[in-house]
Amino acid sequence: MLTGKNILLIITGSIASYKSLELIRLLTKAGATVEAVLTRGGEAFITPLSVEALIGKRVHTQLWDDRSYQMNHIELSRRADLIVIAPASANIVSKLANGIADDLASSVLLARNKPVLLAPSMNVEMWENLAFQRNLKQIQADGAAYVPPQVGILACGESGIGKMAEAATIFDAVCERFKNQARLAGKTAIVTAGGTIERIDSVRYLSNFSSGKQGIAIAQSLAESGAEVQLVVGNVSTHLPSHPNITIQRVESAVNMHAAVHQALPADVFVGCAAVCDFRVSNISDKKIKKESGLELSFEENPDIAKSVGTLEPAKRPKLVIGFAAETDQLLDHAASKLASKGCDLIVANDVSDGAVFGKDQNQVHFVERETSKKLPSLSKRAVADAITNWIQERL
C-alpha cells in the first residue's frame, strides 16, 4: 500500500507520543520507509531507542550531527515524500505558522519542500485558544493538513477536544494523502494568481486588492494531487509555494501574463484565477509625472487571458479551462455570461463586495457550468482549491 514511500515522522512533546510507536508499526507494515525526528519534549515521553527499534535506523534529535557532514534539516525534508507530525503540540503548530526554526524539527519544517500532515494533541483550552486557532488557520492556508483530535477525557483529567487521533486514523489519512497524490499524475496545469500591475509612470501603477492566496492554494492542491503545475503569478501579498511539482514564473502586467500563459501551453488544465486589470495605460511616462504637469491618462483594453485560452482551436486548447468571476452584483448572471463568452468549462464565481474576499483566508464561491450551478459553503481558500481539484479530477 505504501511501498516505496518515504515518511518523515516528527514526534513532539505530548503524552500521546506512545501512539506514534503504533503509527510507525502500521506504516512500516504497509511498506513505507520511516525516518524520525524526536524533539526534546518528545524525549520526555518516549526514548530514542524505542523509536529506533521500530524504524531500524537512528532517530534524529539534533540540528547539527557530529557524526555526519549532512545538514539534517535539509536532508530529512528532501528524502521524505510526506512529513507527518504526530503528536503535534501547540508549540510546533505555532512555530510552523510563524516560521520559527530554533531546533531540528522546526528547521526541517521551515526548509521543507514536501507536504505536511499533522495530528494535534493538547489540552482543550489550548485547542480553543484564539491564538492557537489563528495558527491552525494559517498553516492550513499555507498548505498543511491535519487529522482532527478526538473529544474525551484528556491526560490532565479535563474533558473536551484535544486527544490525538488514534494511530489507525492517522495511518488512514496518510494512505488517503498518497492516494490523492496520484489522482492527477501525468497531467499538466497552468494556474494564474495575484493581481496585475499596469504602470502609469516610473513610480506609480494601477492594480487591485488581490492577494494571490486563492490561486496559490489551487496550484498547491493540483501539485499535491500529482499534476505538474506552471504557476504564473503577478502582484501578491503572500509567500509563494515550494513544491517540486510547481514551477513559478513572476510577471507584472496583463500583457506579460498573457504571453507567459501562452508560452506555457500546451497543458491539460488552465485555471485563470488572477485578478487581471481590464485596462492598461497607453501613455505611460518613463519619468515621474510631476504634480504641476497634471495627470491625463489614456487607456486601452488588456487581453482577456481566459478567453484567449478558452477559444483556442481544439488541438491547442486545454481539456479543461476554468475562469473566475469576481463580482459585486448579479453574480450568477455575470458568471453565466463569462462562461459563454470566454469559452470556459467552469466559472468559479464569488462576491467580492465589501472586502469579503481579497486578502482573506475564507472564500464562498459558486461553480457555474453550462447546465448547472452549485453554491459551496464558506470555506478556507485551500478547501475551495481542493474542491476545484476534485472537479478537475472527475472530468479528466
* The C-alpha cell that represents 58 in the structure block: 537512528
At position 54, the amino acid (one-letter code) is L
* The C-alpha cell that represents 381 in the structure block: 481558500
3-state secondary structure of 155: coil
Q: Beta strand pairing status for 346-351 and 279-281?
A: unpaired
Taking the C-alpha atoms of residue 389 and residue 221, their distance in angstroms, rounded to an integer, is 7
Exposure class string for 377-392: b at 16+ Cβ within 10 A, else e: eebbbbbbbbbbbebb
| Annotated catalytic residue within 156, 175, 273, 344 | 156
Query: Of 340, 278, 284, which Cα lies nearest the Cα of 307?
Result: 340
Q: Beta strand pairing status for 373-375 and 320-327?
A: unpaired
Q: Beta strand pairing status for 373-375 and 198-199?
A: unpaired
CB atoms within 10 A of CB 99: 11
Q: Can 175 be counted among the known catalytic residues? A: no
CB 14 within 8 A of CB 122: yes
At position 197, the amino acid (one-letter code) is I
Beta strand ranges found along 32-144 (DSSP E)? 33-38, 82-88, 116-120
CB 322 within 8 A of CB 388: yes
Give the Cα-Cα-Cα angle 99, 100, 104 (nearest 5 degrees): 115
Cis before 87 (ω within 30): yes
- Which residues are tagged catalytic? 156
